[in-house]
Amino acid sequence: MLGAIFRDALKNLSSNLLRSGLTMLGVIIGVASVIAMMAIVEGGQVWLVSSIERLGTNLLFVWKKRLTIEEKRMFAGRNLKLRYDDALAIRDRFPELQVAPIIQIEGHVKAGERDYSGRITGTSPEFSPIRNFHPAEGRFLQQSDLQTWKRSAVLGKTIAEVLYGSKSAVGEQLKIGEHRFTVIGVMEPKGEVYGQDRDEMIFIPATTALRFFKGDDKIRSMVIHVPNRKQMEEVTHKLHQFLIQRHDGVDDIRVRNQGDFLGAVEQTIWTFRIVLGGVAIVALLVGGIGIMNIMLVTVTERTREIGLRKAIGATRQNILLQFLIESTTISVIGGCFGVILGIIAAYGFGDFVAQSMPGGGDWGAVIEPEAIAIAFVFAVSVGIGFGLFPAMKAAKLDPAEALRYQ
């Protein structure tokens, strides 16, 4: 009997294709938006997490907090700012940590006829292993470069190409501002990480940067590698306390580990999930209301048929099932099309992001089987849920009246 009811449902739906199609459209859009939105959010999460992980693993980031004018006045005269000394002190106090200070200056680089204006990074040899970013040619900075304020420069891949074309840059001379530097290495290509193009970086010794370009010993930030991941929280705390102590008791720095970033990302992603998921679910519910609407019309149109079926022996359950199967068929077929459309939309959006967003190159849509399952189950539930009321209405019809319905 179920087979016969199902065949009837298909026949009825196909006898009014336009109407069935339009009704399905609501479900299709609902399911497609659930899948596409979930895929995009998951893709975003994968992208963000991998961006953070590509910063290097087991890392701590230290930088200066911005103080309010009030705080600045209050703490006037105390030893504030993040200084090169701080980095050295951390190295003395916590010998197991690798510390890379980061100084950033804007500079004009000139090599023969070619030049380049941009950001130059002063740092220490630790930067390379910490960030898992290695020279492809020549070498990275060494301690001796820092000790003697060497004017050595390591170029990112793109910079090396801009300044020297295809010929090898190692050993060449260049000028940064007024100062003459020797290229000692060219980095491997790394591409964009977290919105920063690694191939456009120029590295010089931290001490050289301070002495020739800054005139003080303020550094922008520090990247610190902690050997044991389990100690991250503990080290974060200790380091923070140590720096507060060095800064005459003023807490003017931030120490963050990757876990903190990942946590923040996770939170943001959840916000997106809830907002976008909510929108998608509303779309599905609207689709469900469309089903209910059409099923009510169908029940009214087929009142005489229902009366006849009851007269020749259909039970309430038979009639209920007949109309429920019809509404569920709409939602199942709509759900299938919705899944297909959702996958297409998700990949389409992934491509769109990859092409239009800087650094979005590897933001692909991530379609989890769970997302498809959830959307599909939800669509079917909507079909059953919103089909139930019209079906019950049909099942409850009085046979004598239904037979003579005009």
Partner 1 sequence: MLITLRHIQKIYNTGEVEVKALNDLNIEIEQGEFVAIIGQSGSGKTTLLDILGCLSHPTSGDYWLDESHITTLPDSELTTIRNRQIGFIFQTFHLLPRKSALENVQLPLMYAGATRLQQQSRARELLTTVGLHDRVNHHSNQLSGGQQQRVAIARALANQPALLLADEPTGNLDSQSGSDILSIFEELHHQGQTIIMITHDPLIAQRANRRITLLDGRVLADEPTESPKEPMLQEN
Q: Which residues lie near partner 1 (CB under 8 A)?
A: 1, 3-4, 11-12, 15, 304-305, 308-316, 318, 398-400, 403
Neighbours of 75 (CB within 10 A): 17
Nearer to partner 1 (CB atom), residue 308 or residue 374: 308
CB of 395 to partner 1, least distance (A): 11
At its nearest, how many Å lie between partner 1 and the CB of residue 393? 16
Pick between residue 15 and residue 117 the one whose CB is nearest to partner 1.
15
Task: Give the closest residue to 251 by CA, choosing from 63, 65, 62.
Answer: 65
Q: Which is nearer to partner 1, 146 or 314 (CB)?
A: 314
What secondary structure does DSSP assign to 330-343, as a single string?
A: HHHHHHHHHHHHHH
CA distances from 285 to 21, 106, 328, 386 (A): 17, 55, 14, 9
What contacts 61, CB < 8 A, 6 or more positions away?
A: 221, 222, 223, 224, 254, 255, 256, 257
Q: In whole angstroms, how close is the CB of 11 to partner 1 at the nearest point?
A: 6
Task: Give the nearest distance from C-beta 326 to partner 1 in angstroms.
Answer: 13
Q: In the structure encoding, which two tokens stand for residue 167, read together?
A: 């010929």
Phi-psi domain of 135 (left: phi exceeds 0; alpha: psi -120 through 50; beta: other): beta
Three-state secondary-structure class, residue 125 = coil
- Residue 232's contacts (CB-CB under 8 Å, 6 or more residues apart) are 58, 60, 226, 257, 258, 259
Residue 160 or 402 having the CB closest to partner 1: 402
Q: What is the nearest approach in angstroms of partner 1 to the Cβ of residue 387?
A: 20
Q: Which is nearer to partner 1, 151 or 309 (CB)?
A: 309
Nearest approach, Cβ of 333 to partner 1 (angstroms)? 19
Residue among 5 and 232 whose Cβ is closer to partner 1 = 5
CB of 12 to partner 1, least distance (A): 7
What are the b/e assignments for 348-375, b being 16+ CB within 10 Å? ebbeebbeeeebbeebbbbbeeebbebb
d(CA 391, CA 402): 15
Closest approach, Cβ 405 to partner 1, in A, equals: 11
Give the span between the Cα atoms of 144 and 365, in whole angstroms. 47
Q: How many CB atoms lie within 10 A of CB 99?
A: 22
Query: Cβ closer to partner 1: 16 or 142?
Result: 16
Query: With respect to partner 1, which residue has the nearer C-beta, 88 or 403?
Result: 403
Q: Are 281 and 381 in contact (CB under 8 A)?
A: no
Report the alpha-carbon distance of residue 339 to residue 270 in Å, rounded.
Answer: 23
Per-residue DSSP letter, 357: S
Closer residue to partner 1 (CB): 295 or 395: 395
Distance, CA of 193 to CA of 219 (rounded, Å): 22
Residue 298 Cβ, how far from partner 1 at the closest point, in Å?
A: 13
